[in-house]
Amino acid sequence: MRWMIAVALLSLVGCKQQSSEPQQQPAGSPPAAARKLTIGFSQVGAESAWRTAETKSIRGEAEKRGVELKFSDAQGKQANQINAISSFIAQKVDAIVLAPVVETGWEPVLTQAKEANIPVILVDRGIKVSDESLYTTLIASDFVEEGKMAAEWLAKKTNGKARIFELQGTTGAAPAIDRKKGFEAALKNYPEMTIVKSQSADFTRAKGKEVMEAFIKSDRENIQAVYAHNDDMALGAIQALEEAGMNPGKDVTLISIDGVKGAFEAMIAGKLNATVECNPLMGATVFDTVAKVRAGEKVPKFIQSKDQLFEQSTAAQVISSREY
């Protein structure tokens, strides 16, 4: 019995000695476990309430997990994002999170990231690249589906007859392209629903108001419905309609996308008719995904957020549970 205990003790000492053996580290760098994970996040800007909620979610989650987040606000310019990504690469971050302003023009800088072995996680907007391996995954909503949901709801509300004025998002941005595509695809089944005018208002409330004012000036009698690619533009349009003495939510049916608090308030006030949610609370998914990628796990190329449509009838009940 005594010899068995002695053997067990010896083997424990052996294990300890093995695990305390110094690891191979590059000269001057702290051990991997002691080093904080560093992630570069290139954000589009702060054009909408939705965008602010997304930034808050990713920043908050980084803080919770003790991740060092290098944040860069591109102020709506792709050139600023390209500079930020180059700088993240130079700083040897562990991963790059990119919310791309537009779909195209990413190959050169993402090739640099790939060559530096830095995974790139796209959030909320997709890109068009000749080589899909330039990014690891996209965490986002299905924008085409959102556009379809908006059109189907509007068709039901208007019995398939409406003269529609469309406020598009930023030109060249995935949500602007795909929300238009999905909406138009669904309209094919409703020949008496037509888009009379369609213009970009850059996802902002101020431009939504400005473009709506121009629509009212040229087509006042014609405006039956407004489809806005985000809530902020719809809220700007509501202001323009009211200032012109019109009755948003009653004479003019409005539907938009995002599901921000302001949209719920406008629905409760009877001025916005419906909103299709697009969930910006992706912080936890982003860092879970980064962890999986770093552990060598394979992740899907598209990680889809789930969305739903909200109308005036339930707005008052659900507003208190809305997180953004």
Footprint of ligand AHR (CB under 6 A): 47-48, 50-51, 124-125, 175, 203, 230, 232, 257-258, 278
Helix (H/G/I), strand (E/B), else coil: 198: strand
Task: Give me the residues paired with residue 248 across strands.
Answer: 252
CB of 47 to ligand AHR, least distance (A): 5
Exposed / middle / buried, residue 314 (Cβ in 10 Å: 0-12, 13-18, 19+): exposed
Rounded to whole angstroms, how far apart are CA atoms 93 and 231?
A: 34
Whether 137 and 113 have beta carbons less than 8 Å apart is answered as: no
What contacts 104, CB < 8 A, 6 or more positions away? 127, 128, 172
Q: Which two tokens stand for residue 271?
A: 């001025």
CB of 53 to ligand AHR, least distance (A): 9
Give the Cβ contact number of residue 204 at 10 Å. 20
Task: Give me the residues paired with residue 166 across strands.
Answer: 198, 227
Of the pair 125, 209, the CB lying nearest ligand AHR is at 125
CB of 19 to ligand AHR, least distance (A): 47
Sign, Cα dihedral of 200, 205, 207, 211: positive
Of the pair 168, 224, the CB lying nearest ligand AHR is at 168
CB of 172 to ligand AHR, least distance (A): 12
Of the pair 50, 165, the CB lying nearest ligand AHR is at 50
CB of 275 to ligand AHR, least distance (A): 11
What's the Cα-to-Cα distance from 133 to each of 102, 115, 225, 293, 302, rounded to whole Å?
18, 11, 42, 14, 13
Of the pair 193, 276, the CB lying nearest ligand AHR is at 276
165: phi then psi, degrees, rounded to nearest 5? -115, 125
CB of 37 to ligand AHR, least distance (A): 25
115: phi then psi, degrees, rounded to nearest 5? -65, -30
Alpha carbons within 13 A on the beta-carbon side of 75: 3
Of the pair 49, 89, the CB lying nearest ligand AHR is at 49
Of the pair 37, 228, the CB lying nearest ligand AHR is at 228
Of the pair 51, 180, the CB lying nearest ligand AHR is at 51
CB of 321 to ligand AHR, least distance (A): 20
Of the pair 94, 232, the CB lying nearest ligand AHR is at 232
CB of 54 to ligand AHR, least distance (A): 8
DSSP string, 86-135: HHHHHTT-SEEEE--SSSS--HHHHHHHHHTT--EEEESS----S-GGGS
